[in-house]
Each structure stands twice: as C-alpha cells, then as structure tokens.
Structure 1
Amino acid sequence: MLSFANDLNLKGQFLIATPKVTSDIFAQSVIYMFEHNANGAVGIVINKPSKVPFVELLGDLSEIDCPEEEILRNIDNTLVFAGGPVNRDKGYVLHSAERFYRATITHENIAFTSSRDVLIDYAKGNGPKHILLALGCASWDAGQLESEIMANFWLTAPANEAIMFTAPVVEKHRRAISSLGIEPSSLLWSAGNA
C-alpha cells in the first residue's frame, strides 16, 4: 500500500474521479487537494454546484458597506459548490492569490481560506479576481486515499487555475483528464463502487 511516507503528497493537486467512482457526490468529480499529510487528506470538490445561492451566504446585505445593487451585480452568476460530504454547513473558499485573509493557506497561485472576509470583499468588488466557494469538504483517513488511488478510483494531476476558476462546470472533469494527455472517452465508464 502507498503511504505518505513513500513521498506521495497531493497537496495542491487535482484528484480526478475515474469510472470506478459511482457515488453521487464523487462521480466524475474533480477535487482540489489543500491538505495531505501522514494523518490523511482534505480537498474540495470543484465541479458539483449546489442549489444554495451565493447571496444567502452573505447574510444581511445592509451590513455590507456597499450598495445592494452593486453587491448583486458583483456576485451575479457566482455559484456555490457542494465541496464534499464532511462539514456541509461550513464554507471553504479557493481563490486566486492576489489577496490574503485570516488563516489563508497558499500553494503556488491558489489560496484557500475559511474566512468570511473574502466573501465580503468579493461582494464589494474588492476581492480576488477568481473565487470558488464550497460548502463542505472531502476527507480521507491516513492511508485511505493512497489505497483508493492504488485501486484506480482516482487519477492525479497538477492543479490548473483555468480548470478550477474559469472552465465551464460541465467541462472541468473532461479538461482535468485531458490535462494528463488522456482522451476521456478512452476510459471505460462501467459500474463500480467507491
């Protein structure tokens, strides 16, 4: 079995579901891994929109020092993603790294935070250029993810800002696979369990 001790570190990588993954939240998912160490791994699903409107997570708009019309214009068409089955009531934000917030973690040009300040800045038009807000995350115990990779449930690829932030949601999985030089249609999409 692969282990973290064998130098597998997926922090800052994409985890891409193979046809063996069939659970609703993870089927054809792309996950940005923001933590991977000897204790386990944590990531955010970046291609499964939720039904929660972005504006709902801002709270009382009158408390934001910005005209409501401007806020609504700034957040227009901004999706909230279902980031995973763990802590579904908690928001996680991936964003381009022009700005930093409390407890911001960065890996190359991608930043991660759970600070609400980034949402307020974004709503006011002062935030990062790109933002991806997710409710919940995905997590694995020590050795669990490594076992799933060995069983061919997941492909891994370097994270790509364009795929994460600007690719159409329905294209993210295909583009992540293609970034590996693999034609997505060449994978066998047959039944399996994750």
Structure 2
Amino acid sequence: MAREARAGMLLVASPALLDPNFADTVILLLDADEDGALGVVLNRPTPVPVAEVLADWSPVVAEPEVLFQGGPVSTEGALAVAHLAAGAGEEPLGYRAVTASLGLVDLDTPVELLAEHLDALRIFAGYAGWGAGQLDDEIAEGSWYVVPAHDADVFREETTELRREVMRRQPGELAWHSTRPADPDLN
C-alpha cells in the first residue's frame, strides 16, 4: 500500500532502515516534488533549550521547550514548524503554509508579528533532504512507510512512543509493524 510522498505526510522508518541518522524516526515532509524532498525528524529532542539559542521564540515554543534534531543536513541552521491558530485569517507575514493548518515560520520575522496567529511552534536544528528521485527509491526499497500525519504528531510533548503510535493507528497489516522487533529472527 504505497502512498504518495507529499508535503504534510509522515515518513516512518521501517526496520530495514539502518542508517543511524534515520533509524526509528518519524519525519514530517515539508516539501516534496520532482526536484526532491525535505522534512524534519519529529522524535529526536535535544537537551538544548530554545531559550539558549533563539530566546525571542522561547515563549511560543510547544513543550518541551528544546530544539529538536531535524536531520543531518544544515545542522547549524534552524527550521520552525507552526500550527496556525483557528480563525487566523489570511497567511500572516513570515509564515508559509505546508498544509491547511501547518506551516513554516521564518525565524527572522519579529515574534510579535506571528505569536498571536500560532497555536504551537517547534524548532528543528537541521533537516532531512533527498535529491530528485532519491526518496521515491528509498520508499520503493522498503525503507519508509508513507502515512497520513495528524497535526498533534508534530507537537507532542513526549516523543518516545511516536513511531509506535503512528504505526498502530494505520489500517490493516501496516499496524502490525508497530510491534515488530528490529530483528524478527530473534523473536
């Protein structure tokens, strides 16, 4: 049951994916087209408080108020994903929609211009990126499950069980993978 990898979907690492950058990860795709794909890892919080690196944004960041390791590309940079508040009206300055309710925030925008328009914000150091056709190849070889995202997946306070819970809510046989051991031969 292959789904199209597109912005707003989740990539869930399969047990076949052994790359330590991505083993057991859940990635929110922020952009995906014929030129490549970009996303952020949702379940790798760091011990670094947002207040230490982007103090102005600290009051609007969802718990836990730490940076998340978004992926191995451009780890010195930061991406911010936000949930747009209900009734926010037209897209605020410094915000670019990814889905109807999730978008990217330009961290150079003064926080005062955006804070009232956002319900939640999470900041990621780095991101995951794929060149043209690369992600499609990885999906075809069984490295990733492509599944629908829930907005709450992005802003969970506790991320340890995110992968298992995302898989558990999938239909049919895909849900069975939520309890599969890393090496079924050891079962």
Aligned to 1:141: 131
TM-score (norm 1): 0.77
> What is the Cα deviation at residue 116 of structure 1?
3.6
1:75-125 deviations in Å (ceiling 9; x for gaps): 77312100001111111111111263425233121111232437x359x97
1:150 to partner: Cα distance: 0.7
Query: Which of 171, 174, 178 is the matching residue for 2:168?
Result: 178
**Corresponding residue number in structure 1 for 2:71:** 84
RMSD of the TM alignment (CA)? 3.0
State the distance in 2 between where 1:176 and 1:76 align.
20
Q: If each structure's strand is expressed as a fraction of its own residues, which one has the higher value?
A: 2
Give 1:47 deviation, angstroms.
0.7
In structure 2, distance between residues paired with 1:186 and 1:110? 29
2:47 corresponds to 1:32: no
Task: Indicate which of 47, 54, 60 corresponds to 2:43.
Answer: 47
> Which of 181, 187, 194 matches 2:180?
187
Unaligned 5+ segments in structure 2 are: none
Structure 1 23/101 Cα, relative in aligned 2: closer, same or farther at 3 Å? farther
1:140 maps to a residue whose letter is: W
The answer (yes or no) to whether the contact 1:164–1:172 under 8 Å persists in 2 is: no
Kept in 2, the 8 Å contact 1:31–1:45? The answer is yes
If the length of structure 2 is used for normalisation, what is the TM-score? 0.79
Q: Is the CA contact (8 Å cut-off) linking 1:16 and 1:31 kept in structure 2?
A: yes
| Structure-1 separation of matches of 2:60 and 2:134 | 43
Equivalenced residues, count: 175
**Residues 161, 75 of structure 1: CA spacing in aligned structure 2 closer, same or farther, 3 A cutoff?**
closer
